[in-house]
């Protein structure tokens, strides 16, 4: 029998009310859960700050190198591991009577782009040689594989500690997974990098600008460019440089040693020879992620500029990069994205501003004064100065993943640009304009380059331009 029209109306009305009520219940449940989760994370952060963290490997000097994992013919390699105190980037945190999450381990490796294992484990080892296996919460190839068979991997294993006994941190870690049986039978342990100064772990980062330079390879030999690059960034306020080399000329290595000796640079061997053909650009993805984690975890530096030797970040309205950051960083920016303009190395040499007394006259930032009018869009060949503490996964031209609460800032092209001094033009017909901005560093830059070249190459004072 058909219901009376008002009866049917009532049915619809009840059904709708029930729907609204259950939607509200679900919303209340979700908000309760997320506020519980927030509370748990706040409590965890508080409890974490009250623990005593002691570096378990105080004599280790932080010098990593690539090492084979398990079966050597597979060419699986591991480079570095960092203790990461940020619990907000761990998915499943624990905080009960037994255990609490104290952070995670971040490991960088080179593995096949497609590994058939469904899971990877971290084997952590303590100073008494006891060990423990932890299932990785994240394990995968990072972005920018570019169709290579091998890729730079980022692996994250959460660390939980017992609440009943004093905190014990692992000293070393290895990766174990089924497709490489030997990785489990004879693990390749690498030392875990902890902060140099453990008391700074939860304090503010030091407002230092560090510079991460892509791996030097193919017998890199342009000494003058290297010195000019370092002195240019120093004039802009950078105080530390991280260099990685696959292969470089003897003179380049002498310059790097010099900067290392005066405490300005760390220099790491980047022995990826086994993968020069099958991983993107000498493993650069692993390199800049390693560098940003190193700046954050080991040295507690706030900023890392991830650039190549032919790229200069150029603020246009502030005197230096340091001034720009001091005035414009409000603390929630993951990366300041500087958009790209090209200068061409083939362009004529304008040495007009080189003082007559200088020995090294052909500085690239001073002799090339014409740049492309077009500013490329953000994330296309742009470069980023990151807040190291905000980074989970770094890319070459952008931040791929930031910690909760941080976002990118694209620098307006009237405020700053990336000056990219390329050897070859990509489109040689592009409209060029004269831009003298970099010349404001000229007088100091010429002298500093000459001084460094004199210190390193006593007899001549000339840095070769190759």
Ligand X SMILES: *[C@@H]1O[C@H](CO)[C@@H](O)[C@H](O)[C@H]1NC(C)=O
For ligand X, the closer of residues 74 and 134 by Cβ is 74
Q: In the bound complex, what is the minimum distance in angstroms from residue 441's beta carbon to ligand X? A: 20
φ/ψ of 289, rounded to 5, equals -70, -40
Q: Does 74 bind ligand X (CB under 6 A)?
A: yes
For ligand X, the closer of residues 45 and 182 by Cβ is 182
For ligand X, the closer of residues 73 and 356 by Cβ is 73
For ligand X, the closer of residues 244 and 364 by Cβ is 364
* Residue whose C-alpha is closest to residue 120's, from 180, 160, 62: 180
Q: In the bound complex, what is the minimum distance in angstroms from residue 249's beta carbon to ligand X? A: 4
Cα–chain center distance at 195:
16
**CA geometry: angle 229, 235, 241, nearest 5 deg:** 50
Distance separating alpha carbons of residues 80 and 375, to the nearest angstrom: 37
Q: Does 35 bind ligand X (CB under 6 A)?
A: no
Q: In the bound complex, what is the minimum distance in angstroms from residue 57's beta carbon to ligand X? A: 16
3-state class of 416 per DSSP? Answer: strand
What's the alpha-carbon Rg for the chain, to the nearest Å? 26
- Number of residues interacting with ligand X: please give it, by CB under 6 A: 16
Of the residues 349, 375, 442, 454, which one makes contact with ligand X according to CB under 6 A = 349
Of the residues 51, 55, 67, 71, which one makes contact with ligand X according to CB under 6 A = 71
Cα–chain center distance at 339:
18
Of the residues 40, 51, 167, 362, which one makes contact with ligand X according to CB under 6 A = 362
**126, containing H or E segment:** none
C-alpha dihedral sign at 153, 287, 336, 405: positive
Cα–chain center distance at 32:
35
For ligand X, the closer of residues 191 and 367 by Cβ is 367
Q: Does 274 bind ligand X (CB under 6 A)?
A: no
For ligand X, the closer of residues 156 and 309 by Cβ is 309
Yes or no: say if 189 and 173 are a contact pair by the CB < 8 Å rule: yes
Q: In the bound complex, what is the minimum distance in angstroms from residue 206's beta carbon to ligand X? A: 9
* Residue whose C-alpha is closest to residue 372's, from 318, 426, 321, 414: 426
Of the residues 10, 319, 348, 443, which one makes contact with ligand X according to CB under 6 A = 348
| Residues 185-224 as x/- pattern, contact with ligand X by CB under 6 A | ------------x-xx------------------x-x---
> What's the token pair of residue 456?
């390193």
Task: For residue 401, count CB atoms less than 10 angstroms from its CB and return exposed for 0-12, middle for 13-18, buried for 19 or more.
Answer: middle
Q: In the bound complex, what is the minimum distance in angstroms from residue 182's beta carbon to ligand X? A: 6
Q: In the bound complex, what is the minimum distance in angstroms from residue 181's beta carbon to ligand X? A: 6
Of the residues 118, 147, 356, 459, which one makes contact with ligand X according to CB under 6 A = 147
Q: In the bound complex, what is the minimum distance in angstroms from residue 146's beta carbon to ligand X? A: 8
Question: Could you tell me which residues come within 8 angstroms of residue 112 by beta carbon, excluding any fewer than 6 positions away?
Answer: 76, 149, 150, 151
Q: In the bound complex, what is the minimum distance in angstroms from residue 282's beta carbon to ligand X? A: 16
For ligand X, the closer of residues 200 and 327 by Cβ is 200
Q: In the bound complex, what is the minimum distance in angstroms from residue 54's beta carbon to ligand X? A: 13
For ligand X, the closer of residues 41 and 397 by Cβ is 397
Cα–chain center distance at 118:
27
For ligand X, the closer of residues 246 and 384 by Cβ is 246
Question: Could you tell me which residues come within 8 angstroms of residue 441 by beta carbon, excluding any fewer than 6 positions away?
Answer: 232, 235, 236, 365
First to last CA, the chain: 95
Note the residues at the interface with ligand X (CB under 6 A). Answer: 71, 73-74, 147, 181-182, 197, 199-200, 219, 221, 249, 348-349, 362, 466
């Amino acid at each position: 029998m058909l219901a009376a029209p008002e009866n049917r109306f009532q049915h619809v009305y009840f059904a709708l009310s029930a729907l609204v009520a259950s939607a509200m219940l679900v919303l209340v449940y979700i908000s309760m859960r997320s506020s519980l989760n927030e509370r748990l994370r706040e409590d965890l952060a508080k409890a974490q700050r009250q623990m005593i963290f002691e570096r378990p490997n105080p004599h280790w000097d932080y010098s990593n190198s690539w090492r084979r994992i398990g079966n050597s013919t597979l060419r699986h390699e591991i480079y570095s591991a960092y203790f990461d105190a940020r619990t907000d980037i761990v998915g499943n945190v624990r905080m009960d009577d037994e255990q609490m999450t104290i952070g995670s381990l971040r490991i960088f490796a080179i593995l096949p782009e497609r590994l058939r294992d469904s899971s990877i484990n971290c084997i952590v080892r303590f100073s008494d040689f006891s060990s423990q296996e932890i299932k990785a919460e994240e394990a995968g190839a990072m972005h920018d594989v570019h169709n290579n068979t091998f890729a730079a991997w980022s692996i994250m294993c959460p660390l939980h500690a017992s609440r009943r006994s004093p905190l014990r941190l692992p000293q070393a870690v290895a990766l174990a997974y089924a497709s490489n049986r030997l990785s489990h039978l004879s693990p390749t342990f690498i030392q875990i990098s902890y902060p140099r100064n453990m008391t700074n772990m939860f304090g503010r980062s030091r407002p230092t600008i560090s510079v991460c330079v892509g791996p030097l390879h193919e017998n890199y030999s342009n000494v003058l460019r290297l010195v000019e690059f370092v002195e240019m960034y120093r004039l802009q306020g950078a105080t530390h440089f991280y260099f990685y080399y696959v292969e470089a000329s003897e003179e380049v290595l002498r310059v790097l040693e010099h900067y290392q000796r005066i405490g300005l640079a760390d220099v790491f061997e980047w022995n990826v020879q086994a993968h020069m053909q099958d991983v993107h650009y000498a493993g650069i993805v692993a390199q800049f992620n390693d560098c940003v984690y190193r700046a954050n975890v080991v040295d507690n530096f706030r900023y890392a500029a991830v650039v190549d030797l032919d790229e200069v970040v150029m603020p246009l309205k502030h005197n230096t990069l340091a001034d720009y950051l001091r005035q414009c960083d409000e603390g929630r920016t993951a990366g300041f994205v500087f958009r790209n303009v090209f200068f061409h190395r083939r362009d004529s040499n304008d040495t007009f501003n080189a003082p007559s007394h200088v020995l090294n006259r052909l500085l690239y930032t001073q002799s090339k004064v014409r740049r492309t009018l077009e500013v490329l869009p953000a994330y296309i060949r742009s470069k980023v100065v990151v807040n190291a503490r905000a980074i989970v996964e770094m890319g070459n031209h952008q931040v791929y993943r930031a910690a909760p609460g941080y976002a990118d800032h694209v620098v307006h092209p009237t405020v700053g640009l990336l000056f990219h001094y390329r050897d070859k033009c990509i489109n040689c017909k592009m409209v060029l304009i004269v831009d003298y901005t970099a010349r404001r560093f000229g007088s100091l830059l010429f002298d500093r380059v000459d001084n460094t070249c004199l210190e390193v190459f006593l007899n001549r004072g000339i840095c070769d331009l190759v």
